[in-house]
C-alpha cells in the first residue's frame, strides 16, 4: 500500500496550518485518504508550529512516527523533527533561514524578488513539496488557485518559480484509481450533522478547540438556513440556548471543559424544564486552563455526571468525522424526540484535524418531535407512559406555554407537595427505558479487526484510529462504544464475547472509560494511557501494545 507523510514546520505567523491544509488537498486530489494533524501552541506569534499530513491508499485516522518529507521554514523544525525522518526521507528547507542537509531553496529571497509578502513562503514551500513528491504542476496549480484566493496570480508566480527551483522529484506518488474524497475537520462534520437534523440556532462563546464549530456555521449561515450568536460568556450561551429551544428553535451550544463547567447549571435547567438542547464538549488537557491547544480525553466522567439532581441525558462520543456527522444528527433528533439534553463529546484531535470524509451526507435528516394537537387545555408537562409530553411554543393562541426550573405539575405550576415532587421525578425518569430501547436498536458499539481475537483493545473517541491500524497489523480486536449514556451494556458485552484479555486505550491519565466499564461489571486487564496532550501515533501505540501482550 502506497503512502506518504509530510511535515511542515515554522513559527506562528508563517501560515503553517494553511500550507498543511494545502498539502492535504494536493495529496487528496490524487485519490489518497488523508489525516492531517495541526500542532500549535497558544501563541499569536512565535513558538513552534507544525502540521503533519499522512496520505494513504487505505483509510487512515492517525499519524505514524516516521516522516518521508520535512519542509522546514525555521531551524527549530530541523532540531525537533529530523530524528523522525525516515532513512530515505528528504528535507526541503528555506536556505535563507535554515542550515540543513537536503534540498535547500532560498524561499525568502524568491518571495521578496517576486514582490510577495513573507507569509507567501508557505506557497513556495507547498510548490516545492509538490515537485519533490513528483506531483504534476497542474495539480499543484489547482491547489494554489483554490487555497490562495487573495493575490492568486502572485501566489501562482511564486509557486511556479519554487516548483522549478526544486529540481528533480525524489518521490513519484502515483494517482490512485479512487475518486478524491472531500476533506473535512471534525468540527465541520459536527456542524453539518446538526444542520441536517434541523439546527436553527448555534450559540457559543469561542473556546479552543470547539471554536471552529461557531466559525464554520457563522460563515455558512445563509446556505444552511440558520443563525449563530456569540454572547458575552458561556453562561449566557447556555441560558440563551434554553430560551431558543423553549421558543421552538433547534439549538446547539459548544465549548471545551472550562466553558462547559459554566454551562452546567443550564444543563440542569434543561433536565428540569425538559428543554431539548445539544451541548458539544470538545476536550483539551486540564485541569483549569490546562494546555489550550492540545488534546485529551479527560472529561468523560464530568460530562456523564454534570449537573445537580437526577435527570436523563443522551451522550455520544464520535471517533471520526463520519461518526461526528451521524451522531450529532442523532443527538439533535434524540434531544427533541425525548425532550432531554444531549451531549456530543469530542476532543481537539477530532475537532481540529482534517480527514477524508466518506459519508454521502444523506444519512441524517430532521425527525419531528411529538406536537400538541390543539385539543383541550395545554399541559406542557402532561404525564405519559414514555414521559414525553406534546410540544407547542409561545405564540400559539390556544396555549399557555410554561417553562420552569421549579418542580411543577402537568401545567408547569410550581409544587412543593411530596406527591407532586415524586411524580415529577417519575415522569422525567420514565423516559429512560424507552431511550434505552432505542439504543438497543442502533449501532451503539462498533467492532473492528479480528472479531474473534482473544485480545481486545477497548477505546473511545478519536483514539479509535490508531487502535484500528494496530489491531489489523497484530490480529487483535477493537471495541468502540459510540453511546456513553445510557451506556449500551448488553451490546458491549456481546462485542467482547470470547475476549480473554481486555486492554483499555485512552488519551488521559486515569482511564475514564475503564472506570465506566467497571461500573457496569466489565474489568479491563491492562490500560495504555497517554496524557502529554498529543494523540497516539500508530507506531507509538504498537510498541505499547507489544509491551503489554508479551
Residues 522-540 have pLDDT tens digits of 999 999 999 999 999 999 9
- Name the residue among 281, 292, 294 with its Cα closest to residue 348: 294
Please, what's the b/e burial string for 53-88 (b: 16 or more CB within 10 A of its CB; e: otherwise)? bbbbbeebbbbbeebbbbbbbbebbbebbbebbeee
Please determine, for residue 197, whether its predicted confidence score (pLDDT) is greater than 60.
yes
- For the entire predicted model, the pTM comes to 0.97
How far is it, in rounded angstroms, from Cα 41 to Cα 183?
24
**Three-state SS letters, 297-358:** CCCHHHHHHCCCCCCCCEEECCCCHHHHHHHHHHHHHHHHHHCCCEEEEEEHHHHHCEEECC
Least confident of 11-15, 33-37, 396-400, 464-468: 11-15
- Name the residue among 273, 276, 269 with its Cα closest to residue 198: 276
CA angle (429, 432, 436) in 5-degree steps = 175
Mean pLDDT of 404-411: 97
Please determine, for residue 135, whether its predicted confidence score (pLDDT) is greater than 70.
yes
Cell triple for 41? 501552541
- Name the residue among 63, 61, 56, 54 with its Cα closest to residue 24: 54
Please determine, for residue 550, whether its predicted confidence score (pLDDT) is greater than 90.
no
How far is it, in rounded angstroms, from Cα 398 to Cα 410?
16
CB of 284 closer than 8 Å to CB of 348: yes
- Name the residue among 415, 282, 287, 291 with its Cα closest to residue 350: 282
User: What pLDDT does 234 receive?
Assistant: 98
- The DSSP secondary structure of 415-461, one letter per residue, reads ---HHHHHHHHHHHHTHHHHHHHHHHTS--EEEEE-TT-SEEEE--G
User: What pLDDT does 2 receive?
Assistant: 87
Please determine, for residue 1, whether its predicted confidence score (pLDDT) is greater than 70.
no
CB of 239 closer than 8 Å to CB of 208: no
The predicted-structure confidence for 290-340, as pLDDT tens digits, reads as follows 999 999 999 999 999 999 999 999 999 999 999 999 999 999 999 999 999
Please determine, for residue 371, whether its predicted confidence score (pLDDT) is greater than 90.
yes
Please determine, for residue 152, whether its predicted confidence score (pLDDT) is greater than 80.
yes
The predicted-structure confidence for 68-82, as pLDDT tens digits, reads as follows 999 999 999 999 999
- Name the residue among 471, 480, 475 with its Cα closest to residue 446: 480
Over pLDDT 90: what percentage of the chain? Answer: 96
How far is it, in rounded angstroms, from Cα 137 to Cα 70?
20
The predicted-structure confidence for 414-456, as pLDDT tens digits, reads as follows 999 999 999 999 999 999 999 999 999 999 999 999 999 999 9
Rg (the chain; Cα; Å): 25
Residue pointed to by grid coordinates 444531549: 342
Please, what's the b/e burial string for 341-378 (b: 16 or more CB within 10 A of its CB; e: otherwise)? bbbbbbbbbbbbbbbbbebeeeebeeeebeebeeeeeb
Structural domains of the chain, ranges and CATH numbers in brackets: 3-165 (3.40.920.10), 184-356 (3.40.50.970), 370-442 (no CATH), 444-548 (3.40.50.920)
CB of 545 closer than 8 Å to CB of 476: yes
CA 521 to chain centre: 29
Binning pLDDT at 50, 70 and 90, where does residue 46 land? confident
The predicted-structure confidence for 91-134, as pLDDT tens digits, reads as follows 999 999 999 999 999 999 999 999 999 999 999 999 999 999 99
Which helix (H) or strand (E) element contains residue 244? helix 234-246
Mean pLDDT of 7-24: 94
Supply the mean pLDDT for the chain: 96
Cell triple for 417? 407537595
User: What pLDDT does 109 receive?
Assistant: 96
User: What pLDDT does 45 receive?
Assistant: 77
User: What pLDDT does 47 receive?
Assistant: 87
The predicted-structure confidence for 458-476, as pLDDT tens digits, reads as follows 999 999 999 999 999 999 9
Backbone angles phi, psi at 239, to 5 degrees: -70, -40
The predicted-structure confidence for 442-451, as pLDDT tens digits, reads as follows 999 999 999 9
Please list the helix, strand and coil fractions of the chain in percent, rounded to the nearest 5, in that order.
40, 20, 40
Mean pLDDT of 61-66: 97
The predicted-structure confidence for 257-276, as pLDDT tens digits, reads as follows 999 999 999 999 999 999 99
Binning pLDDT at 50, 70 and 90, where does residue 148 land? confident
Binning pLDDT at 50, 70 and 90, where does residue 191 land? very high
Binning pLDDT at 50, 70 and 90, where does residue 175 land? very high
The predicted-structure confidence for 239-259, as pLDDT tens digits, reads as follows 999 999 999 999 999 999 999
Helices 186-196, 321-338: inter-axial angle, 10-degree rounding = 40
Amino acid at each position: 500500500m502506497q503512502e506518504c507523510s509530510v511535515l511542515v514546520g515554522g513559527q506562528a505567523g508563517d501560515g503553517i496550518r494553511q500550507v498543511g491544509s494545502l498539502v492535504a488537498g494536493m495529496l487528496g486530489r490524487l485519490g489518497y485518504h488523508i489525516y492531517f494533524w495541526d500542532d500549535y501552541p497558544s501563541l499569536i506569534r512565535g513558538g513552534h508550529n507544525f502540521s503533519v499530513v499522512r496520505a494513504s491508499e487505505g483509510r487512515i485516522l492517525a499519524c505514524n512516527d516516521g516522516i518521508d518529507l520535512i519542509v522546514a521554514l525555521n531551524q527549530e523544525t530541523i532540531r525537533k523533527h529530523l530524528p523522525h525522518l525516515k532513512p530515505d526521507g528528504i528535507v526541503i528547507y528555506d536556505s535563507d533561514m535554515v542550515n540543513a542537509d537536503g534540498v535547500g531553496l532560498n524561499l525568502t529571497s524568491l518571495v521578496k524578488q517576486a514582490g510577495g509578502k513573507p507569509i507567501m513562503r508557505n506557497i513556495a514551500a507547498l510548490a516545492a513539496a509538490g515537485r519533490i513528491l513528483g506531483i504534476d504542476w497542474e495539480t499543484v496549480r489547482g491547489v494554489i488557485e483554490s487555497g490562495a484566493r487573495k493575490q492568486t496570480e502572485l501566489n501562482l508566480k511564486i509557486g511556479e518559480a519554487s516548483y522549478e527551483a526544486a529540481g528533480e522529484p525524489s518521490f513519484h506518488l502515483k494517482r490512485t484509481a479512487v475518486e478524491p474524497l472531500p476533506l473535512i475537520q471534525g468540527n465541520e462534520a459536527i456542524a453539518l450533522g446538526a444542520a441536517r437534523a434541523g439546527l436553527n440556532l448555534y450559540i457559543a462563546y469561542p473556546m479552543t478547540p470547539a471554536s471552529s464549530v461557531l466559525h464554520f456555521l457563522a460563515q455558512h449561515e445563509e446556505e444552511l438556513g440558520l443563525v449563530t450568536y456569540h454572547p458575552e460568556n458561556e453562561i449566557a450561551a447556555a441560558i440563551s440556548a434554553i430560551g431558543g429551544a423553549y421558543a421552538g428553535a433547534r439549538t446547539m451550544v459548544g465549548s471545551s471543559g472550562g466553558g462547559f463547567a459554566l454551562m452546567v447549571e443550564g444543563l440542569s435547567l434543561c433536565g428540569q424544564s425538559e428543554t431539548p438542547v445539544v451541548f458539544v464538549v470538545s476536550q483539551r488537557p486540564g485541569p483549569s486552563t490546562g494546555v489550550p491547544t492540545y488534546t485529551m480525553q479527560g472529561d468523560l466522567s464530568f460530562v456523564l455526571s454534570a449537573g445537580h439532581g437526577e435527570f436523563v441525558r443522551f451522550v455520544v462520543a464520535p471517533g471520526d468525522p463520519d461518526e461526528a456527522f451521524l451522531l450529532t444528527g442523532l443527538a439533535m433528533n434524540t434531544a427533541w424526540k425525548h425532550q432531554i439534553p444531549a451531549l456530543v463529546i469530542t476532543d481537539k484531535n477530532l475537532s481540529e484535524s482534517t480527514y477524508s470524509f466518506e459519508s454521502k451526507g444523506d444519512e441524517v435528516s430532521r425527525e419531528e418531535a411529538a406536537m400538541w394537537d390543539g385539543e383541550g387545555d395545554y399541559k406542557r408537562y402532561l404525564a405519559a407512559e414514555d414521559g414525553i409530553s406534546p410540544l407547542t411554543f409561545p405564540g400559539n393562541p390556544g396555549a399557555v406555554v410554561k417553562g420552569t426550573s421549579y418542580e411543577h405539575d402537568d401545567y408547569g405550576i410550581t409544587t412543593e407537595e411530596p406527591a407532586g415532587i415524586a411524580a415529577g421525578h417519575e415522569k422525567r425518569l420514565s423516559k429512560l427505558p424507552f431511550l434505552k430501547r432505542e439504543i438497543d436498536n442502533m449501532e451503539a458499539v462498533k467492532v473492528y479487526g479480528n472479531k474473534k481475537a482473544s485480545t481486545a483493545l477497548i477505546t473511545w473517541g478519536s483514539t479509535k484510529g490508531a487502535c484500528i491500524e494496530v489491531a489489523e497489523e497484530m490480529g487483535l480486536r477493537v471495541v468502540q462504544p459510540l453511546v456513553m449514556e445510557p451506556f449500551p451494556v448488553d451490546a458491549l458485552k456481546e462485542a467482547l464475547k470470547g475476549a480473554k484479555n481486555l486492554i483499555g486505550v485512552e488519551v488521559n491519565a486515569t482511564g475514564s472509560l475503564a472506570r465506566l466499564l467497571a461500573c457496569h461489571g466489565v474489568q479491563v486487564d491492562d490500560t495504555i494511557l497517554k496524557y502529554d496532550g498529543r494523540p497516539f501515533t500508530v507506531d507509538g501505540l504498537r510498541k505499547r501494545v507489544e509491551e503489554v501482550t508479551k
